[in-house]
């Protein structure tokens, strides 16, 4: 009588194959990761600039209705809540809230501003004046 062996197929990966794949993935992440995260900072700066522009448009619309920009004490909140102006016809922003900047800080608003009728600024990632790259300020007058 002949015995037949049942062959078992090895359907798995060897440890060496897994290590090679992990090294390749690690090298790709090391090359691509810094480039991707660098662009995230640029995207946040662009979003802050766009929000500052939208605030400017909303403030201009409010000025057309009321004849003046809100004071520093009335702030940007006057774009969504009437601060007691007779001809206020808001809200002037689509959402009824004043958004924070992309780094979750409040925007600074001054009127009259030192650079124009009003100044709006975001202090960037670090929340401090000045800075470079993602820490740089985003200002309405620039």
- Span 10-37, pLDDT tens digits: 677 788 988 999 999 998 888 887 777 7
Kindly list the structural domains of the chain, giving each domain's residue range(s) and its CATH number in brackets, ordered by start. Answer: 47-139 (3.30.700.10)
Q: Model confidence over 110-119: pLDDT tens digits?
A: 998 899 899 9
Rounded distance, CA 46 to CA 100, Å? Answer: 14
The sheet with strand 108-110 has its strands ordered as 108-110, 119-122, 138-139
State the DSSP H helix or E strand holding residue 120, giving kind and residue range, or none if neither: strand 119-122
The sign one gets for the Cα dihedral 36, 42, 45, 50 is negative
């Amino acid at each position: 009588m002949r015995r037949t062996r049942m062959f078992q197929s090895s359907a798995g990966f060897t440890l060496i194959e897994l290590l090679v794949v992990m090294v390749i993935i690690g090298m790709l992440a090391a090359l691509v990761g810094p480039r991707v995260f660098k662009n995230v900072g640029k995207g946040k700066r662009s979003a802050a600039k766009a929000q500052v522009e939208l605030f400017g448009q909303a403030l201009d619309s409010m000025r057309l209705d009321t004849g003046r920009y809100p004071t520093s004490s009335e702030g940007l909140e006057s774009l969504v809540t009437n601060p007691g102006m007779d001809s206020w016809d808001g809200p002037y922003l689509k959402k009824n809230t004043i958004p924070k900047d992309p780094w979750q800080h409040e925007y600074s608003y001054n009127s009259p501003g030192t650079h124009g009728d009003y100044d709006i600024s975001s202090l960037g990632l670090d929340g401090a004046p000045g800075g470079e790259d993602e820490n740089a300020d985003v200002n309405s007058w620039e």
